[in-house]
Amino acid sequence: MTTVISASGLQKRFGRTVALDGLDLEVTAGEVHGFLGPNGAGKSTTIRILLGLARASGGTATLFGQDPWKHAGELHRRVAYVPGDVSLWPNLTGGEAIDLLARLRGGTRDKGDYTARKQRLLDAFQFDPRKKGRAYSKGNRQKVALIAAFATPAELYVLDEPTSGLDPLMEQVFNREIARVSAEGATVLLSSHILSEVEELCDRVSIIRSGKTVESGTLAELRHLTRTEIAFATDGIEPTALAAEIDGIPDAHDLIIDHGRVSFTVDSDRVASVLPDLARLDVRGLTVSPPSLEELFLRHYGDELTARAAEPMEGARA
Amino acid sequence: MSTLATLLRQRLRRDRLQLALWIVGTALLAYTSVAAVADTYGDESERNQILQVATASRTILVFRGTPNGTDLGAFVFFELFAWLALMGGLMSTFLVTRHTRAEEEQSRAEFIAATPAGRVKPTVATLVHGVLANLVLGALVALAFIAGGLDAEGSWVTGAAMAATGIAFVAIGLFAAQLFRTSRGANGAGVAAVVGAYLLRGIGDAAGTPSDDLLHVTPAWPSWLSPIGWGQATGAYVENSLAPLALSLGVSAVLVAIVFALQAVRDQGASLLPGRNGRASASWALSGSFGLAWRLNVSTLIAWAVGAAVAGITASSLSGLIDELAGDAPQVVDTLQAALGGGATLEQAFIATFFGIIGVLAACCAVQVAIRARQEEAHGTAEQVLATPVPRTRWLLEYWFVGVIVIVVVLAAAWLAGLAGTAASDTPDDLVSLITQAALAQLPVSLVFLGVTLLVFAYLPRWTIVLAWVLLGVAAILGTFGPLLGAPDWMLDLSPFTHSPVPAGDDTDWSGGLWMIGIGLATAALAVVSMRRRELAAGG
Ligand SMILES: Nc1ncnc2c1ncn2[C@@H]1O[C@H](COP(=O)(O)OP(=O)(O)OP(=O)(O)O)[C@@H](O)[C@H]1O
Ligand SMILES: [Mg+2]
């Protein structure tokens, strides 16, 4: 499989701020790759480096095997980009901006094809192209960039939080477009904070935090990293005895006995090993909840929160 | 009340450097000009003669005011007031737009409007801020004139006239901010109002009725439509009448009342003049990054080209009048020639002076094109263009190219208008070649400013706007006022404008121009090449 995006040990400093601190990212051809991380984690910065708009302070990044800083012009022929914060030209209408961006990308050579694609997107996104730049709402500005990106064929779509500001109906339209370009064989790098979007669209995800990659893999692989929750009714069994029983199971963690229900977690690949013990206890009302991605994300985002909360205290001690 | 104080403090804080520069700069200009005028025209008989020349030739009054006797104070007021009021007016309208429509457009105003400060108090705070700035400006100009040795009462009347005129422009700026949806629109309307007020009183003054001794002019009615004209009507240092300022303040009060009435009924972010819809798809002209750079600059270009054309036609029609004057009052022509200096003929001197101003206009226009590149970058729209196959170097090169076209168009507008004005002359052929030379002579200095601004953009992107205007402003003041202010030669030589070729028929020395073309091309080339190594620098 060919690698479309490859970054290793990527570093970026802005003065004393370290935005990227050894980031790794691997995206292979044809996949829809989710790019996740808390605010300020470095997603937009990574994307800018990949597009040759910013230069890495260290590490390497390649796009289609080439250095994006040196070969920006050629590489951009193959890429469509939707920035995280779309600004428009105040004296250009939305329709003019769409045409301009498509022409710059060289995607309008087949005029009939382009016009048909554009018209289909204008209808799908219910977009009025006649207004001047500043008169558009946030969601409508976003649509300009999305329509311009999807109206021209590209090998790689780089989308930085593309659905921020879109209403749920428009998100559906967006999802359909991603499915379409993906079916046509294009690669997509999608930075997002919206878990349902990532779950629905992405084949693989990379999660970054403070400029470093902390997880990367298929959704199924990542699910394995989380624990499955097992719960059942106490059903008259004496709690202290029960607790002792479960403490005896080596794979069980995080035991809670509350309101007549017992719950604990098990590493997802160890679920089968606890079943004999449960059978022995003859438990009633058993539920086994598969790990949610939400939990996984919150674990990574949450550590960040804890780390941040800890900072001022360390400062105070120092 | 405390929210108002907070808003006002925020405004003062944000503007402290900019306003201080503007106010102190204007006061310093006033101070040095008084000294220079007192030095050059210290003698009453000299003032007598120059006033007669001005009154007889009329067109000079467009750029000065109405003569009001030979008293030194009245003479200084005649020479300087309209200029100073123009600066105060621009300061006021920019100040107002910055804190009203620009904030609303960026939807920062929405944060504020959602706090207890509400929608209206920010406008009140801006009004108070603008009034304060103008009071300080008026007081400093008065003190500058007193320090320059002029009569105190007349100086305070001048200061009051400055303040009242500026306050009128604060009100006009607030009104424009209600009308237009974008800060560009509001700023454009504000500048048009200030320049319009300047020209209205120029026309009224030039069309006024002179006294028999040619030392006084009673302005015609157009001057009474202009806040700057009302300021002039105080007759500072002679009549010292504050009554005309009541007009300024009265009109301001009415406008402010309308502004608050509008603000009370309109939505946050909305405007009185609705934004118009445009084309659904781009025309062939917007076919690429060059088309975009052109499109973003063309409206600015038209405004500057119209200004240059007005200056061009004034220059050549004025030269025609000199011929008439030479028959009527030859001694006056001699004096004027001596004042303008050198062995050049009067016509040459006039054309050179006026086209010198046109050169400043062309340089301003070129600098604006280069600054537009920075605005595109800071605003985030350049990022979208540069994420397409357009290379950074080509992108900047295209801005340079648009800059060159803009310079050529501005100078050509002045040149063509100048040619149209030669009809009044007895010797149109000489004048035509003179005007052609004068227009060509402005090309090099504009190229220098275009190249230097692009170079600043390439190396210090966040400083582009400030540095470009400061460099241009200092150089233009040195180049146009420097000789009048008696600045030393080494200082004058620092200004590129000093090195523009002076049209003198066959004797014209083009060497300074050739050097500057070289510098202009070299700086631009360096800037474009440097873009290879340059990352995008976001706004801030
Ligand atoms: N031009 C810049 N100058 C200084 N610091 C910057 C600059 N650009 C980004 N940063 C810093 O780099 C870090 C990463 O920012 P980045 O925009 O990449 O985050 P992000 O992951 O896209 O966040 P979000 O989810 O909020 O969009 C932040 O700490 C930010 O403050
Ligand atoms: Mg971001």
| pLDDT at residue B145 is higher than 80 | yes
Kindly state if the Cβ of A17 falls inside 6 Å of ligand 1.
yes
| Nearest residue by C-alpha to atom 1 in ligand 1 | B538
Q: Which pLDDT tens digit goes with each residue over B317-349? A: 766 666 665 555 565 566 556 555 555 676 777
C-alpha dist (Å) from residue B527 to B368, B369, B397, B399 = 16, 14, 9, 11
Of residues A54, A93, A134, nearest to B279 (C-beta): A93
What is the per-residue pLDDT for B172? 96
| pLDDT at residue B132 is higher than 60 | yes
The pLDDT-based confidence of B424 (bands split at 50, 70, 90) is low
Q: Which residue has the higher pLDDT, B430 or B231?
A: B231
- Asked if A216 and A35 touch (Cβ cutoff 8 Å), the reply is no
Q: Which pLDDT tens digit goes with each residue over B301-323? A: 888 898 888 888 877 776 666 66
Q: Which pTM value belongs to this model?
A: 0.79
> Is the sign of the CA dihedral B101, B104, B106, B108 positive or negative?
positive
Q: Do B286 and A100 touch (CB under 8 A)?
A: yes
| Chain position carrying tokens 């004042």 | B339
Strand A156-160 relative to strand A187-191: parallel, antiparallel, unpaired? parallel
User: What's at B439, amino acid-wise?
Assistant: A
Kindly state if the Cβ of A40 falls inside 6 Å of ligand 1.
yes
* Distance between Cα A19 and ligand 1 center (Å): 6
What is the per-residue pLDDT for B315? 76
The pLDDT-based confidence of B440 (bands split at 50, 70, 90) is very high
Of residues A87, A89, A103, nearest to B288 (C-beta): A103
Ligand 1 closest atom vs CA B537: 1
B269: Cβ contacts below 8 Å, ≥ 6 apart: B104, B105, B107, B109, B110
Six-digit token pair at B452? Answer: 């230097």
Kindly state if the Cβ of A19 falls inside 6 Å of ligand 1.
yes
Size of interface A-B (CB pairs under 8 A): 110
Kindly state if the Cβ of A14 falls inside 6 Å of ligand 1.
yes
Question: Which chain A residues touch B396 with a CB distance below 8 Å?
Answer: none
Q: What would you report as the CA-atom Rg of chain A, rounded to the nearest whole angstrom?
A: 24
Q: Which residue has the higher pLDDT, B265 or B521?
A: B521
- Which ligand sits closest to the CA of A50? 1
Of residues B281, B295, B535, nearest to A54 (C-beta): B535
What is the per-residue pLDDT for B334? 64
What is the per-residue pLDDT for A313? 43
Helix (H) or strand (E) holding B158: helix B152-179
Q: Which CATH fold would you assign to the domain A227-289?
A: Alpha-Beta Plaits (3.30.70)
CA–CA gap between residue B275 and residue B486 (Å, rounded): 50
B463: Cβ contacts below 8 Å, ≥ 6 apart: B456
B309: Cβ contacts below 8 Å, ≥ 6 apart: B413, B414, B416, B417
Q: Which pLDDT tens digit goes with each residue over B246-279? A: 999 999 999 999 999 988 887 776 776 666 677 8
- Asked if B505 and A22 touch (Cβ cutoff 8 Å), the reply is no
A120: Cβ contacts below 8 Å, ≥ 6 apart: none
Among B107, B129, B108, B104, smallest CA distance to B263 is for B104
- Asked if B391 and A104 touch (Cβ cutoff 8 Å), the reply is no
What is the per-residue pLDDT for B156? 97
Six-digit token pair at A180? Answer: 């379409």
Neighbours of B91 (CB within 10 A): 24
What is the per-residue pLDDT for B484? 65
Kindly state if the Cβ of A45 falls inside 6 Å of ligand 1.
yes
What is the per-residue pLDDT for A312? 47
Of residues B105, B379, B535, nearest to A55 (C-beta): B535
Strand A156-160 relative to strand A79-82: parallel, antiparallel, unpaired? parallel
Kindly state if the Cβ of A48 falls inside 6 Å of ligand 1.
no
Over chain B, what is the mean pLDDT?
Answer: 87
What is the per-residue pLDDT for B430? 77
Ligand 1 closest atom vs CA A48: 18
Q: Average of pLDDT values for B170-174?
A: 96
What is the per-residue pLDDT for A315? 38
| Chain position carrying tokens 């002019």 | B217
Q: Is A55 on the interface with B (CB under 8 A)?
A: yes
What is the per-residue pLDDT for A317? 39
What is the per-residue pLDDT for B540? 57
The CATH number for A3-223, chosen from 3.40.50.300, 1.10.3720.10, 3.40.190.10, 3.20.19.10, is: 3.40.50.300
Q: Where are the alpha helices (DSSP H) in B269-345?
A: 289-328, 330-340
Q: CB under 8 Å, gap of 24 or more: what pairs does A248-255 form?
A: A248/A277, A249/A274, A249/A277, A253/A227, A254/A227
B166: Cβ contacts below 8 Å, ≥ 6 apart: B85, B88, B89, B91, B92, B130, B133, B134, B137, B138
Kindly state if the Cβ of A41 falls inside 6 Å of ligand 1.
yes
DSSP-derived secondary structure letter, A42: S
- Asked if B410 and B304 touch (Cβ cutoff 8 Å), the reply is yes
| Nearest residue by C-alpha to atom 5 in ligand 1 | A14
DSSP-derived secondary structure letter, B68: B
> Is the sign of the CA dihedral B141, B307, B451, B182 positive or negative?
positive
What b-and-e string marks burial along B181-210, b requiring 16 or more CB atoms within 10 Å of the CB? bbbbbbbbbbbebbbebbbbbbbbbbbbeb
User: For A117-170, what is the HEC assignment?
Assistant: HHHHHHHHCCCCCCCEHHHCCHHHHHHHHHHHHHCCCCCEEEEECCCCCCCHHH
Question: Which chain B residues touch A44 with a CB distance below 8 Å?
Answer: none
- Which ligand sits closest to the CA of A37? 1
A45: Cβ contacts below 8 Å, ≥ 6 apart: A12, A19, A20, A54, A211
The pLDDT-based confidence of B82 (bands split at 50, 70, 90) is very high
- Asked if B96 and B119 touch (Cβ cutoff 8 Å), the reply is no
- Asked if A230 and A274 touch (Cβ cutoff 8 Å), the reply is yes
| pLDDT at residue B214 is higher than 60 | yes
Residues with a beta carbon under 5 angstroms from ion ligand 2 = A 44, 84
CA atoms within 13 A on the CB side of A185: 5
Q: Do A103 and B287 touch (CB under 8 A)?
A: yes
A25 three-class SS: strand
| Chain position carrying tokens 């400029």 | A211
Six-digit token pair at A168? Answer: 């749920």
Please report the ipTM that was assigned to this predicted complex: 0.79
Tell me the average confidence (pLDDT) per consecutive run of 10 residues in chain A, 318 residues long.
Answer: 92 92 95 92 94 93 94 92 90 92 86 93 94 81 94 94 90 94 96 85 91 88 76 78 80 80 82 84 82 69 55 41
* Distance between Cα A52 and ligand 2 center (Å): 16
- Across chain A, how many H-helices and E-strands are there? 11, 13
Q: What would you report as the CA-atom Rg of chain B, rounded to the nearest whole angstrom?
A: 24
Among A126, A149, A152, smallest CA distance to A137 is for A126
What is the per-residue pLDDT for B13? 92
In chain A, where are the structural domains located? 3-223, 227-289
